[in-house]
Amino acid sequence: MTAIARASNIRFPHRHLLGIEGLSPDEITLLLDLSESYIEYHRQADKKRAVLRGRTLINLFFETSTRTRTSFELAGKRLGGSVINMSVATSAIKKGETLIDTAMTLNAMHPDVLVVRHPDSGAVKLLSEKVNCALINAGDGSHEHPTQALLDALTIRRRKGRLNGLVVAICGDILHSRVARSNIHLLTTMGTRVRVVAPPTLLPAEIERLGVEVFNDMRRGLEDCDIVMMLRLQSERMHGTFVPSTREYFHFFGLDYEKLSAAKPDAMIMHPGPMNRGVEIDSEVADDIGRSAITEQVEIGVAVRMACLDMLTRTLPLSAAELA
Ligand code: ASP
């Protein structure tokens, strides 16, 4: 019996996946273990399964995305579901009423899963209160991006064999990053030591209350760490000037071999993408196949999304199409 089949009677005790905050270590491990079995699965030539047969997944993106949207689309199709992509230009949206109207319209079409990305923190939770289907947060403002944190954790666990006791340095624009927030919640829940490394202007007030150590200097922050996770400068979320210039930012906070030499010799480099080469990361470091896990993160992302779609639809009632 395959691991996926063995796990098929296990249920996830939440209707939606809105964030990592509040998930228990067991719930996180459950999602990581199921994702692990989907990695082997989606490396096979025949990738089709019937787990989502008769199910409809709508990707509703109010913000641009390349890898996350494609990843959910592939995951849904590989599990045999029908996938519809809806991109809504941010400029056309009047917040509040329009969002609720959109939710009600989509709800009336009876999807089984809505995957939503929105520029406003909290918008996805608001939507979840209005729909009957399962909802997955694909990134809301600078709040959470749970599937990114799950794929990052699985990438780390596969390379390093564990999460507990490792030292992870998350570097760059912590202030605006939903990836940082979801990773901090997940890693601290799983017993990983988390450091955040950034200029003071790019750190949220009282970030240490999330259980992280704070550094304003790359060499000190990277000292003897196991994982270096770089973040993009989220200029689309910046109102005002947060760094003097991208050139100066790279000089002090961009990852190059010189700064990386402070980390453990086998430290792994990660980046959620899209990368700004020469701004937060040097091209050579990003493409270093011995150290960088950046393309592996993308591959693992599809498996994680398959696992989340599988898990969340297990408790949904079957639609008329499925019962026919
Ligand atoms: N793709 C990630 C996100 O949507 C990271 C980024 O955009 O910098 O948050």
Q: Which of 61, 174, 232 to mutate to test the pocket of ligand 1 (most atoms within 8 A of CB)?
A: 232
Per-residue pLDDT averaged across 125-130, rounded? 93
- Half-sphere exposure for 63 (CA within 13 Å, toward CB): 20
* Ligand 1 mean position, distance from CA 295 (Å): 15
Pairing of strands 82-87, 56-61: parallel
Q: In this predicted structure, what is the pLDDT of residue 252?
A: 96
Q: In this predicted structure, what is the pLDDT of residue 100?
A: 82
Q: In this predicted structure, what is the pLDDT of residue 77?
A: 95
Residue 2 has pLDDT above 70, yes or no: no
CA-CA distance, 84 to 67, in Å (whole number)?
16
3-34 residue pLDDT tens: 665 566 788 999 999 999 999 999 999 999 99
Question: Of the given ranges (55-64, 100-109, 163-172, 246-255), which has the lowest mean pLDDT?
Answer: 100-109
Distances (CA, A) of 282 to 186, 205, 298: 27, 29, 19
Nearest residue by C-alpha to atom 8 in ligand 1: 232
Closest ligand 1 atom to residue 232 Cα is 8
pLDDT confidence of 138, banded at 50, 70, 90? very high
Closest ligand 1 atom to residue 67 Cα is 1
- The residue type at 178: R
Closest ligand 1 atom to residue 138 Cα is 4
Q: In this predicted structure, what is the pLDDT of residue 41?
A: 81
249-268 residue pLDDT tens: 999 999 999 999 999 999 99
Q: In this predicted structure, what is the pLDDT of residue 45?
A: 72
- The closest of 186, 193, 231 to 213, measured between CA atoms, is 193
Global pTM value: 0.94
